Chains A and B, each alone.
Chain A
Amino acid sequence: MDYTNQKNPQNYSQMEDLKTLDLEESVSETIMRDLKMIAYKLKYVLIPKEQEDNGKELRNWDLWGPLIFCLALAMTLSFKADSTTNSSKSDVFAIIFVLIWVGAFVVTLNAQLLGGKVSFFQSVCLLGYCVFPINIEAIIIAFIGSYLPFVVKLIPVIICFAWSAYSSVGFMASLVPPHKKKLAVYPVFLFYLFLSWFSLIV
C-alpha cells in the first residue's frame, strides 16, 4: 500500500486501479481525484478532438458531474433572480433542477422508445455533462448581463447553446435507426434550448 510514488494517471483505466486504494488516503486526495475525473470526462465530451476511440469512454458513466453542473446552474440563476417580483429564488432553483433531471430522463426514455439500445444512465450522464456550456453562458450573463441590451446577450447564448447541442447530438443520433434520427435529436435540441432560454431570461 505505497502511495508515495503515485503518478498522475495517464488515462481513465489507470484511475480505476487507484480506486481500490482509496480507503486509507486523505479526504482531499479523494475529492481531487474525483474532480480530476470529472474534468477529464468534461474535456472528452465537449471537445470532439479528444474522442479518438469512438466514444467508448462514455461507458464509464457517473452522475457526479451532471449533479455539480446542475446545481451550479440552478444556483447561478437563482442568485440572479429578483426575489421581490414575479419569480422567487426558490421557484427558479426548483424549476431548473426539475427541468434538468426530468428533461434528461425524458429525452433518454424517448431515445430508448424509438429503438435505441443504450444504457439509461450513460445517456443521462452525457446530457448532464453537455449542460456545462449553458453554465458558462449563465455566469457570463449573470455578471455582465445588466449592462448589455437584450440583443447583445443573445450572442453568447447562441454560441453556448450550439456547443451543447452539437456535443450531444452526435451521440444521440448514433443510437437510433437512421430513419428516426431526427425524432431522437429534436428533444435534445429542445432541452438545451429551454435551458439556454432560462439562462437568458432570469
Chain B
Amino acid sequence: MDFGIQNQTDEQQQANKEPSNQNGNEGNKKQTGCCAFLTIEFYTPYFNVTETDVLQRIQGTFLPLRPDFLNLIRGNPDLWGPIWINATLIFMITAIANLRQIDEEKENQSFVISYVPQATALLYIIAFGTPIVLAAVMKFLGVDLSFFQTICLYGYSMSTLLPITILCYFQNELFLWLIIAYGFANSSLFLIINLKEELDKLQIQKKYIIIGIVVTMQLSLYLFYKLVFFSYVKE
C-alpha cells in the first residue's frame, strides 16, 4: 500500500500541468495531426454555451415549423446538449418504467434495471451514430453541413422524448401510441425542416435519400421505445 507516495508526486505534476492532454501535444493552441480528435482541446470549442442558450435550443425543438434552430446553432454548435439530454433520457426511461411496475399488493417486488445498458446503447448510437453517417452521406452528396452541426441537431431532436417519456407513465395503450406517433412526427419534422435549407440545393433524388434515412431512423427509434421500454401494461 505505498500507493500514497506515487499519488503525491503525480499530483504535483498534475497540479502544474494544463488540463489533461493525452497525446502529449502540450502547448499547441490548435491541435493538428491525425490524433487531434482524441485530445480535449479539440472538443472545447463545442462547449461554448450557457444555460440560457441550452434552454433556448431545447425550446426551439418543440416548435418544429419555425426553422430557427439552425440559425441558433449556426455559428456555435454545442455537444453539451446531445450528451446530457440523452443521459437524462436514460435515467427517465429507467425511472418511469420502474414506476409503472409498482404493484402495491406484491411483496418483495423486483424492478427491471436492464433498461440502462439497452437505453444507453440505443440512444447514443442513434444520437451520435446516425448524424455521423448522415453527415458523411451529405458530404458525399455535396451538402455543406459540418459533423458537429448534424450531431447538435440530432442531439437536440431527442429532447422531444423528454416529455413523452414522462407521459408514458400512463397505462392506456391508445394514449401511448398517440404520443409516440406525435413524438415521431415532431422530431422528424424538426429535422427535415432544419435540413431543408441545405437540401434544397440538391437534386430531388438525393434529397429524398437523405430524408429517407432521417425518417427511417426516427421511426426505428420510436418503435423501439414503445415496444421495448413501455410495452408492459398492467391488467
Contact = CB atoms under 8 A, between A and B. Distances in A.
Q: Would you call the interface of chain B mostly helix, strand, loop, or mixed?
A: helix
Contacts of A26: none
B112 A86 contact: yes
A112 B5 contact: no
B14 A86 contact: no
A85 interface: yes
A171 to B, nearest CB: 15
B5 A19 contact: yes
A92 interface: yes
Nearest to B5: A19
Contacts of B28: none
B197 interface: no
Contacts of A146: 107-108
B235 interface: no
B202 to A, nearest CB: 34
A91 B114 contact: yes
Interface residues on A, range: 35 or more
A16 B4 CA distance: 8
Given A61-B7, A110-B83, A120-B20, A91 B107 contact: no
A109 B54 CA distance: 19
B87 A190 contact: yes
B4 A62 contact: yes
B8 A60 contact: yes
B19 A112 contact: yes
A202 B113 contact: yes
A121 B79 CA distance: 23
A92 B113 contact: yes
Given A61-B7, A121-B10, A202-B110, 8 more contacts: A34-B1, A37-B4, A62-B7, A115-B44, A150-B104, A190-B87, A194-B91, A197-B94
Interface of B: 1-5, 7-8, 10-11, 14-15, 18-20, 40, 43-44, 46-47, 49-51, 54, 79-80, 83-84, 87-88, 91, 94-95, 98, 102, 104, 107-108, 110-114, 116-117
Closest 10 CB pairs of A and B: A82-B110, A119-B14, A182-B51, A179-B50, A86-B112, A113-B47, A201-B111, A87-B113, A85-B110, A112-B19
